[in-house]
Amino acid sequence: MSHQSRFVELPEDLQSKIFVRLSVKCVLICKCVCKSFCTVIRNPDFVNAHLSFPRPITTKTSQSLILGFINITRIPIQGCNSLLSIDDDKEILCSSPLTPTIPYVGALSLVGSSNGLICFDVRSGAFASEGNYLLWNPVTRQTRYLPKFENRRNCDFPLTEFGFIRDTNDYMVVNVSKNRDSQDIYIESYKMSTNSWSINHNTTVGRLIPFFGRGFGIKPTKTSVYSNGCLHWGTKYSRGDYILSFNLKKEELGMIKAVDHNRDSNFKCLQIAEVNEDLAMIYWKSTGEFQLWVMTDYGVESSWVLKFNFGPCPTLFPLGYWKYDLMIISLGSENCLLDLDFGVHERILDMRSWTIGRFCSFEESLAPVRYAIVLYPN
C-alpha cells in the first residue's frame, strides 16, 4: 500500500489537522492531488482553521505590503500595484506586480485588503470612481466584480474602504461622500453576505464638516484606519481637528476629538493612522519635521500621547504609518520606508514619475471571493 493510499484512509478531521499546518501554496498543491483532499480543503471550516492557525516562528519571516501607485503625468491617468516582501530586519526582500487575470478596462486603484482578499476600484480615463469594484484573491486566483451601485446621489469624490466585520463574519465595501447641495454625509455600503448595496445619510454630522468647492472637509487616507470596529477619516472644522468614524456593525457615524495641537501653529494635520490597533495622527510642518500621536484609550481626548518626533528634514513628506514603526515617506523624488526606531530609510521602488495613492498589508489565505459561512478568528 502506498503512502498516499494510507493518508487518504485517514479520517477527514485528521487530514484537516495535518493540512492546516501547511502554507497556503502547499495546501493548493494538495488540493490537486485527489478528490478527497479537495473536499477537505474546500470546506469553509477548514478555510477558517487555516487562517487562524498560528504559523511556526522561524529565524526569518517576512511581511507583505501592497503599494498602489498612480501616474498623474500621463493622460489618461494610469495606475499600477506592487507587492513588497519585507523581512524582520525591515529590509525589502523583493517586489512583484499585482495584476488580476480577469479582463478590465481602465486602471486598478487599490482600495484595501483583508484576510487575503484585495479590493480594487476599476477607474476610467479621468481616474474618477465609477463604482466598478473588483475582488481578487491572488493566491487562489479567484476574481469577481461586485454589483454596481446605480443610485449614487449628487456627491463628489467618494472615499472608499474595504473591511471585514468579525462580529457578523462579513466583508464590506464602504463609500463615504458629501452631498454638494444638502451637506449631508452619505454612506454607501456593500455587504458580501447579501451581495447588495444600501445607503444611509447623516445630516447632523454632515453640517459640522466644511465644504470647499467640489471637495469636502473629509481627508482621504493612504491606508484604511480600522480600530474598535470602526473605519476612520480625518476632518477639520472651526472647532479644530476631528476624526470621523463609521461603525461597520451598527452602521453609525461618530466624531472623535483629535489632538489639541495648538502649541505650534506650523504643524498641520496630514493623516490619521492605526498604530497597534490604536488611533494615531500624523502632524507635519514645512521644515520636514513630523510628529506621530497615539490615542491610547479609544475615544478619550485626554489619552493622546506623543509617540515619535522626527526631523527636521526639508525634503521629507510623510505619506502614512504602516506597522513595526515603519513610515512610508516621500523623500525628494523618491518613495522610501523610514524606520522610526533608527532613523534610517530605504528606497521602495524606482518609480519617480509615480506617486503612492494607497497602501495596505497583505496576508495569503484561502478566503473565497464569494460569501461563505466562515467564522474568522477574533
Same-domain pairing of 145 and 20: no
Looking at the 3D structure of the chain, how many domains does it have? 2
The CB density around residue 271, as the number of other CB atoms within 10 Å, is 22
Would 56 be classed as within a structural domain?
no
Residues 126 and 225 in one domain: yes
To the nearest whole percent, how much of the chain has pLDDT over 70? 81
Shared-domain flag, residues 233 and 193: yes
Tens-level pLDDT at each residue, the chain (378 residues): 455 567 777 777 888 888 888 888 888 888 888 888 888 888 888 887 887 777 654 444 568 999 998 876 666 667 789 999 888 888 888 888 888 878 777 788 899 999 899 999 987 766 566 778 999 999 888 899 999 876 555 666 678 999 988 888 889 999 887 776 766 778 889 999 899 998 877 766 666 665 443 444 677 788 889 999 899 988 876 667 788 888 988 888 888 888 865 556 677 777 899 998 899 999 888 888 889 999 999 999 889 999 998 888 888 889 999 988 999 998 888 888 999 988 888 888 776 667 888 999 998 888 888 865 444 444
Q: Is residue 377 part of a domain?
A: no
pLDDT tens digit string along 297-338?
Answer: 999 988 999 999 888 888 888 999 998 899 999 888 888 899
Tell me which H or E stretch contains 276.
none
- Does 18 lie in the same domain as 128? no
57 is a domain residue: no
155 and 19 in a single domain? The answer is no
Q: Render pLDDT for 171-191 as a digit per residue (tens, 0 to 9).
A: 999 988 777 676 677 888 999
Do 74 and 122 have their domain in common?
yes
Tell me, what's the pLDDT at 215?
A: 41
- 148 and 295 belong to one structural domain: yes
Domain ranges, residue 13: 3-42
pLDDT (0 to 100) of residue 157 = 65
In DSSP terms, 117 is beta-bridged to 114
Residues 306 and 341 in one domain: yes
**In this structure, are residues 168 and 178 in contact, taking their beta carbons and an 8 Å threshold?**
no
How far is the C-alpha of 245 from the C-alpha of 167, rounded, in Å?
18
The distance of Cα 21 from the centroid of its chain, to the nearest Å, equals: 27
Domain annotation covers residue 180: yes
Kindly state whether residue 194 falls inside one of the protein's structural domains.
yes
Torsion-angle region of 141 (φ positive above 0: left; ψ -120 to 50: alpha; else: beta): left
Grid cell of 277 as nine digits: 490597533
- 136: domain CATH number is 2.120.10.80
**Same-domain status, 177 and 31:** no
How many Cα atoms are found within 13 Å in the side-chain-facing hemisphere of 311? 22
Quickly tell me which residue has 486598478 as its cell. Answer: 108
Residue 154, pLDDT score: 61
